[in-house]
Amino acid sequence: MLGFTPFKRHPNKFNYTPRYYDPEKEAREQRRAELRGERAGDGEYEPGKYIRAQREARSLRRNAAASRSQGKLWLMVLAAAVLVLFVLLVYPRIVAAFRTAGRETPVAVQQEEFDPYAPITVVPNDYEQE
């Protein structure tokens, strides 16, 4: 009963007046914007307007993220297909080229029979001996 009083007490109130507010200028700007068609979409507040806008924006972000991930999936599938084609078609040819490069191809030289009585041709030595 200590808090009870028969007299009605009013809560603290603010006596706030905006310092730079001009209601005529505000009305004038609003009329001009309506004539130019700038504020055609605003209108009055509808209950749930902002919540609905947030939900729609969230769904758009999720759809964009899903399409990006789907694009990444197709890119990885394409990269795997290119890798498989490389391994099946190009890699064996490269390996075969390296194998044949390591071998010396025999030159077809016709050898005559050795004749021990044939004259010997002497080839001069161009190297200087010390």
SS (H, E, C) 37-58: CCCCCCCCCCCCHHHHHHHHHH
- Its sign, for the CA torsion 107, 108, 109, 112, is positive
Q: Collapsing DSSP states into helix, strand and coil, what is residue 121?
A: coil
For 52-104, write each residue's pLDDT tens digit.
989 999 999 999 888 888 888 889 999 999 999 999 999 999 988 888 887 77
* Angstrom distance (rounded) from CA 28 to CA 31: 5
Q: What is the pTM of this model?
A: 0.35
* Angstrom distance (rounded) from CA 68 to CA 59: 14
Q: How confident is the model at residue 39 (pLDDT cuts 50, 70, 90)?
A: low
* Angstrom distance (rounded) from CA 78 to CA 86: 12
Nearest Cα to Cα of residue 70 among 53, 78, 38? 78
